[in-house]
Chain A
Amino acid sequence: MNETLWAALSEVQDPEMPVNLVDLGVIYGVTEDGGVVEVDLTFTAMGCPASEFILDDVRERLLREPGVNEVRVNIVWDPPWTTARMTEAGRDALEAWGLAV
């Protein structure tokens, strides 16, 4: 189940940049217990203007997974996000787009 959830989250795009949330490194953890999914998630900045969209997209995507009835998102700021948390694929995607990371 856990792998499927990570795969589902890697389909959620950042609303501002052409990179998915997993490759961006903002998903800190996903657990599932009896149909309830808990996601630990951070934002690249505290003033992230897209935070509401990201939360909506995460909930909407996970609820489409069979067996998921509820999604709880914990917004965490520790450890803080830095570009070091991005995956190689995320880095490549942003570099291709013209952002040095």
Chain B
Amino acid sequence: MPTQAEFEQTIKSGELIESTREMTPEYLRELKHTLIVSGDTELISAPAYYLAAKRAPSINAFMTGIAIIQDELAHAHIAYHILEELGEDQEKLIFSRDPKSFRYPYAFDVPLDSWTELVVANGFYDQAGFCLLGDIHDKCSYGPWKRGLNKVMLEENFHLRNGRTWMKRISASGGAAKDELQRAVDWMFPLSVEWFGLPDSKKMHSTQLEYRLKGLTNDQLRQWWLSTVVPYCEQIGVKVPAHKDERDGKDVWELDYPFPCEFDAEHKRWDFKRPSTWDDVLARWRARGPRNVEMVAMFQEEFHNFRKTHHRDS
């Protein structure tokens, strides 16, 4: 194990850390936490997307949906595999944890009920994943993860393309289809904005930034997301509650609603007239949303059933 001074020097110099021998216990803990959030997010997107992909409007669209799910599972596998190398038990992490202890963004707990909602998820949630992982890919001090993300980024690009192409197509067809798209955007946009977590003003210290596990703050990542999503939505004629402004000669993206505010997960509706506090949001996240238990059961239940019926004495 390195001394604190040696470790700090490695981090400061921009060098990569390649093994646990080069880590302090605090770094290892923070790295594992970051990997669990990433692995859980990719993993849970599979059942979330699957439940909507089966409503695909054509075989070809279904195939694309399933390919995206396969990518997400592979991305989850990369994160859990690294966790295993760091001493965690992959099987326990995936199959024996309580649903509430999974660490993925709350947005996935709100059901995606149609192909339209799935493609908005590809356009919004995968863009959020792209910003978060792109930043880690760019800045991460842990070599094996940084390299593993090379392919992940390309594949996420493909998911974004699916989202954007379909959103544009649905918007252009107008009428009831476009109304459905707008309704999906109305509830999914603020959930994606929330994805990036507490605003910087509420989060004074970030160990992840200090250890170079990521490079951008929550607000910087949120701005990056807004700078890609808002212009695209405007371009295809979809309304979003945000606009571009200028501050100190720089473009900033401002939200047109109180952030945070009340969300009714059952009806998938935001109440912009009822601002809330970050404590309320954190409590909602901790309690998890409507589909948490069902989705975790989708991969945990059969694993245990299979184990029971295929039991071998070793």
Contact = CB atoms under 8 A, between A and B. Distances in A.
B40 to A, nearest CB: 24
The interface size bin for chain A is 10 to 19
A17 B155 CA distance: 8
B9 interface: no
Interface in A15-40: 15-18
Contact of A49 (B63, B150, B151, B154): B63
B158 A15 contact: yes
B64 A52 contact: yes
By DSSP majority rule, is chain A's interface helix, strand, loop, or mixed?
Answer: loop
Given A15-B158, A15-B161, A97-B154, 6 more contacts: A16-B155, A49-B67, A50-B158, A53-B165, A56-B165, A97-B151
Contact of B60 (A15, A17, A51, A98): A51
Contact of B154 (A18, A47, A53, A56): A18
A44 to B, nearest CB: 13
A56 B166 CA distance: 12
A34 to B, nearest CB: 30
A56 B151 CA distance: 24
A52 B155 CA distance: 16
Interface of A: 15-18, 47-53, 56, 97-98
Interface residues of B, number: 16
A16 B178 CA distance: 28
8 contacts: A15-B161, A16-B154, A16-B158, A48-B63, A49-B63, A49-B68, A97-B154, A98-B151
A93 to B, nearest CB: 12
A53 B161 contact: yes
B66 interface: yes
Interface string B53-64: 000000011011
Nearest to B62: A49
Q: Which 6 A-B residue pairs are closest in the complex by CB-CB distance? A: A49-B67, A49-B64, A49-B63, A16-B158, A15-B158, A52-B60
Contacts of B158: 15-16, 49-50
Contact of A47 (B63, B150, B151): B63
Contacts of A49: 63-64, 66-68, 158
Nearest to B64: A49
A56 B162 CA distance: 12
Nearest to B147: A98
A53 B68 CA distance: 14
Contacts of B67: 47, 49-50
A66 B151 CA distance: 36
Interface string B61-75: 101101110000000
Residue in A16, A17, A97 whose Cβ sees the most chain B Cβ within 10 Å = A16
A100 B142 CA distance: 25
B177 to A, nearest CB: 18
B193 to A, nearest CB: 28
Interface in B141-184: 150-151, 154-155, 157-158, 161-162, 165
B227 to A, nearest CB: 23
Contacts of B64: 49-50, 52
A54 B138 CA distance: 29
